[in-house]
Amino acid sequence: MHETYRECYQSLVEKLEEKARLAGVMSIMHWDQEVTMPKGAWESRAKQMAALAGVIHEKSTAPEMGEWITKLMSSSKDVFSEFEWRNITEARRAYDMETKVPKSLVQELAELTSRAHEIWVNAREKNRFKDFAPSLKRLVKLRRQWAHCVDPHKSPYDVNIDESERGATVARLDPIFEKLKSDLIPLIKAIKESLYQPNTSFLKGDFAIDRQRKLAKRISRDMGFSFEHGRMDVSVHPFCGGGHPTDVRITTRYRTDNFVESLFGAIHEAGHGLYEQGRMQTGRDLPVSEPLTMGIHESQSLFWERMIAQSRSFCSHYLGLFAKTFPESMKVVSPEKFYEAVNVSHPSFIRVEADEVTYPMHVILRYEIEKGLFDDSIPVDRLPEIWNDKIEQYLGIRPPTDTLGVLQDVHWSGGSFGYFPSYTLGAIYACQFYNALKKEIPDAEDQVAQGHFLNIKDWLNRNIHSKGRLYETDELVLRVTGGPLDPELFVDYLKEKYRAIYRLN
Q: Residue 331: its pLDDT value, please? A: 82
pLDDT at position 3: 59
| Phi and psi, residue 250, nearest 5° | -110, 150
**How far is residue 242 from each of residues 102, 173, 229, measured CA to CA in Å?**
27, 30, 10
User: CA–CA separation, 373 vs 367, rounded Å?
Assistant: 10
pLDDT at 1: 42
Q: Structural domain boundaries of the chain?
A: 2-153, 170-501
- CATH architecture classification, 170-501: Orthogonal Bundle (1.10)
State pTM to two decimals: 0.93
Tell me the per-residue pLDDT of 54-106, one tens digit each, with 9 for 90 and over. Answer: 999 999 999 999 999 999 999 987 889 999 999 999 999 999 999 999 999 99
Residues 434-461 as b/e (b if ≥16 CB within 10 A, e otherwise) read bbbbeeeeeebeebbbeeebeebbebbb
Query: Angle of helix 421-440 relative to helix 454-463, nearest 10 degrees?
Result: 120
pLDDT at site 78: 86
Instruction: Tell me the catalytic residues.
Output: 269
Give the 3-state secondary structure of residue 354.
coil
Start-to-end Cα distance in the chain: 70
Strands 240-244 and 247-252: antiparallel
Task: Give the chain's residues under pLDDT 70.
Answer: 1-3
Task: State the helix-helix crossing angle for 312-325 and 335-342, rounded to 10 degrees.
Answer: 100
How far, in Å, are 27, 53, 54, 90, 236 from residue 146 at the CA level?
Answer: 21, 15, 15, 20, 28
pLDDT of 76: 85
